């Protein structure tokens, strides 16, 4: 299905007067409002193809119906999001969950929906039908060379799919690790993983980036072979200039100072991209900004400051992706909320008076520094984000259009109540 442009325009008309008042009010306090709106318009967040269906836990799965049954329908879903918010102009694929059967058709469909292909994700954490060796005891770290080779070959195949689709990055997340002390020789696991990553890196085209994603725990609960940013950074440094660390917000131990990690990686030129989500305990799937929006703002504050210092383009300098799985919400509604939360945090960070903050830091004026940060964070920037969306042809309020157009109901009608998507 598609959302007709006039439906978005009609809905906008109903809200335009209230929006203009709110926008006028907040924009009075912004010195460079046009520049800021342009940055907000340019900023796109890739949607993971695996987040469009209802996820589950090992205790159950409660599908909401109308889920995309194949890659074409996943692209269609993201097209719907992008039509509404004009900020979801990319898709991140997971292989083999989304094997493209006909590259030309898939590319054409993505282009029709205004989407490009962001990072490709490999999967060496599940055994696939017909696969020769099992990943039960790891992939690149495995004690058996044949298993390691299978994982290397799979990653190279993922790169090949990506080349065909016009992607330019590969995210390698390894579930490798151990669940019990003594299970693994850490040194050998590390060495094998490095060697495997080096083989994959060799297959990377010159214009590609490789993102090494880390995770503190799950599915392994004693050790993860790429368990934190230090390990990822080590690999990225040894691999070479095309290798970077990828930060998934939910992959840290509780209370980790993610903004500091981000600042350091960026400063070293080794931050590659993001998987956005939120978490309260040890999960990595909640709606972005639903638990700790202040942390998200602080992360964006470091990103804006650090990227500006390095002369990086905010929109294209790093890979911006959501990574979440929705158990009890409509995935499309959740993704609209997540993208909105990201743009709000970005807009707040753009409001920070960097010069004044640096002066306060130089003066050791902690109170002033906090006032500057929180002044930006406590500004209601939603009208700025909405104005940028309006100027791009999107909806002032994407969720309200989604609901008034009964998108989910229509998807259920055309795909069926039982349609189930691939993913987590």
Q: Which residues bind ligand LRH (CB under 6 A)?
A: 50, 121, 173, 213, 215, 248, 275, 284, 323, 424
The binder of 342, among ligand LRH, Mn ion, none, by C-beta within 5 to 8 A per type, is: none
Q: State the CB neighbour count (10 A cutoff) for residue 161.
A: 21
Q: Given candidates 118, 168, 323, 405, which one binds Mn ion under the rule CB under 5 A?
A: 323
Q: Given candidates 284, 302, 334, 387, which one binds Mn ion under the rule CB under 5 A?
A: 284
The binder of 297, among ligand LRH, Mn ion, none, by C-beta within 5 to 8 A per type, is: none
Confirm or reject binding of residue 387 to Mn ion (CB under 5 A). Answer: no
What's the closest the beta carbon of residue 124 comes to Mn ion, in angstroms? 14
Tokens encoding 235: 């690999």
The binder of 424, among ligand LRH, Mn ion, none, by C-beta within 5 to 8 A per type, is: ligand LRH
The binder of 50, among Mn ion, ligand LRH, none, by C-beta within 5 to 8 A per type, is: ligand LRH
Output 75 or 324, the one with its CB closest to ligand LRH: 324
Tokens encoding 366: 């902690």
What's the closest the beta carbon of residue 197 comes to Mn ion, in angstroms? 17
Spatial separation of the C-alpha atoms in residues 229 and 266, rounded to whole Å:
12
Contact 275, 322 (CB under 8 A): yes
Spatial separation of the C-alpha atoms in residues 355 and 306, rounded to whole Å:
13
**Residue nearest ligand LRH, CB atom distance:** 173
Output 224 or 345, the one with its CB closest to ligand LRH: 224
What's the closest the beta carbon of residue 215 comes to Mn ion, in angstroms? 6
- How does 259-290 read in b/e, with b if 16+ C-beta sit within 10 Å? bebbbbbbeeebbbbbbbbbbeeebbbbbbbb
Contact 301, 349 (CB under 8 A): yes
Q: State the CB neighbour count (10 A cutoff) for residue 294.
A: 14
Output 283 or 305, the one with its CB closest to Mn ion: 283
Contact 236, 212 (CB under 8 A): yes
Residues forming the site for Mn ion (CB under 5 A): 248, 275, 284, 323
């Amino acid at each position: 299905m598609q959302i007709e442009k006039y439906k978005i325009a009609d809905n906008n008309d109903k809200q335009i007067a209230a929006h203009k008042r709110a926008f006028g009010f907040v924009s009075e306090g912004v010195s460079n409002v046009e520049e800021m709106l342009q940055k907000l318009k340019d900023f796109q967040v890739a949607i993971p193809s695996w987040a469009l269906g209802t996820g589950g836990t090992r205790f159950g799965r409660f599908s909401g119906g109308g889920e995309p049954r194949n890659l074409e329908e996943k692209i269609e879903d993201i097209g719907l999001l992008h039509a509404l918010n004009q900020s979801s102009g990319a898709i991140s694929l997971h292989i083999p969950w989304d094997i493209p059967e006909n590259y030309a058709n898939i590319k054409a469909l993505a282009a029709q929906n205004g989407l490009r292909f962001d990072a490709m994700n490999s999967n060496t954490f599940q055994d696939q039908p017909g696969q020769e060796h099992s990943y039960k005891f790891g992939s690149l770290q495995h004690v058996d060379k044949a298993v390691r080779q299978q994982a290397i070959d799979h990653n190279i195949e993922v790169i090949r799919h990506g080349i065909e689709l016009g992607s330019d990055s590969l995210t390698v997340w390894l579930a490798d690790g151990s669940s019990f002390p003594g299970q693994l020789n850490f040194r050998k696991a590390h060495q094998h993983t490095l060697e495997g990553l080096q083989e994959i890196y060799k297959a990377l085209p010159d214009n590609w980036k490789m993102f090494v994603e880390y995770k503190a725990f799950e599915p392994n609960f004693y050790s993860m072979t790429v368990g934190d940013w230090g390990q990822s950074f080590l690999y990225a440094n040894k691999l070479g200039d095309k290798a970077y660390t990828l930060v998934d917000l939910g992959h840290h131990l509780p209370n980790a100072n993610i903004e500091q990690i981000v600042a350091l990686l960026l400063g070293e030129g080794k931050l590659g991209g993001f998987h956005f989500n939120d978490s309260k305990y040890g999960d990595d799937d909640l709606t972005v900004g639903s638990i700790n929006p202040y942390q998200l703002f602080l992360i964006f504050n470091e990103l804006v400051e650090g990227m500006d210092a390095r002369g990086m383009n905010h929109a294209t300098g790093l890979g911006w992706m959501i990574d979440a799985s929705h158990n009890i919400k409509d995935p499309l509604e959740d993704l609209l909320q997540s993208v909105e939360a990201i743009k709000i945090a970005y807009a707040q960070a753009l409001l920070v008076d960097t010069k004044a903050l640096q002066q306060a830091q130089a003066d050791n004026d902690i109170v002033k520094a906090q006032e500057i940060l929180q002044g930006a964070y406590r500004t209601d920037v939603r009208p700025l984000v909405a104005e940028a969306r309006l100027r791009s042809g999107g909806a002032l309020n994407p969720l309200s259009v989604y609901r008034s157009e009964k998108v989910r109901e229509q998807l259920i009608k055309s795909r069926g109540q039982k349609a189930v998507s691939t993913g987590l």
